Amino acid sequence: MVLLSGVFTATESAAVAVAYAIVIGVFVYRELRWSQIPKLLYRTGLVSAKVMFLIATATFVGFLLAHQKIPQAIAEHLFGVSHEPWLVLLLVNVTMLLAGCILEVAAALIILGPVLIPVVQSLGIDLVHFGVVMVVSLAIGTIHPPVVSPGALFG
C-alpha cells in the first residue's frame, strides 16, 4: 500500500522491506543473528548477479534476432498460417508454454516480446491482453517438465 501512495519508489520499498525483515528476524522472531547478515547479503548478490546475467544474455539474443530480421520472418510465417487473431493467440500461447519449460520468464519476455509484438499489433490485438497471455503462459510453462532453473544452469 505504501508503494501505491507514492511515499516510496519500488526500489525504496524493497529496501524498506529488507530493513523491516531484518528487524523482525532479529528482534521479534530471534531466528536471525547479526553475524548471519553478511553471508545473506553475499548469497543475495550471487542470485542477483545470476539473474542479471540471464537478462543481459537475453537482451543480446534479442538484439541479434532483431538484427537478423527474425521477427519479420516469424510475422510472415504467422500470417501465412492465419489472419485470425484468436488462432495467432493460440499459437503464441502454445509457444509460450513450450518456451516457459526451458527458459527463464524474464529471458523469454526479453527475447520473444519484441519478436511477437509487431505481429499482434498488426492483428489489432490489445497489447495489455497480449502481455497477460504471454506472462501467464510462461508462468504455467515454468512449472511443467522439463524445468530448467537458473540454479541448475549455474550451480
Please report whether residue 60 resides in a domain. yes
- Asked whether residue 33 carries a pLDDT value surpassing 90, the answer given is yes
Backbone angles phi, psi at 37, to 5 degrees: -65, -45
Three-class SS of residue 40?
helix
130 versus 62: the higher-pLDDT residue is 130
Overall average pLDDT of the 100-119 stretch: 83
Residue 58 is which amino acid? A
- Tell me which of 25-39, 47-61, 76-90 is least confident: 76-90
Please report whether residue 41 resides in a domain. no
Separation CA 113–CA 95 (nearest Å):
12
Please report whether residue 97 resides in a domain. yes
Domain region containing 134: 50-154
Separation CA 34–CA 25 (nearest Å):
10
Question: Please, are residues 96 and 137 in contact by the beta-carbon 8 Å criterion?
Answer: yes
- The structural domain count of the chain equals 1
Please report whether residue 121 resides in a domain. yes
- Asked whether residue 71 carries a pLDDT value surpassing 80, the answer given is no
- Asked whether residue 147 carries a pLDDT value surpassing 70, the answer given is no
Separation CA 31–CA 59 (nearest Å):
40
Please report whether residue 12 resides in a domain. no
Please report whether residue 21 resides in a domain. no
Backbone angles phi, psi at 109, to 5 degrees: -65, -40
- Tell me which of 11-15, 40-44, 113-117, 143-147 is least confident: 143-147
Please report whether residue 24 resides in a domain. no
Please report whether residue 110 resides in a domain. yes
Q: Give the HSE-up count for residue 63: Cα atoms under 13 Å, Cβ half-sphere.
A: 6
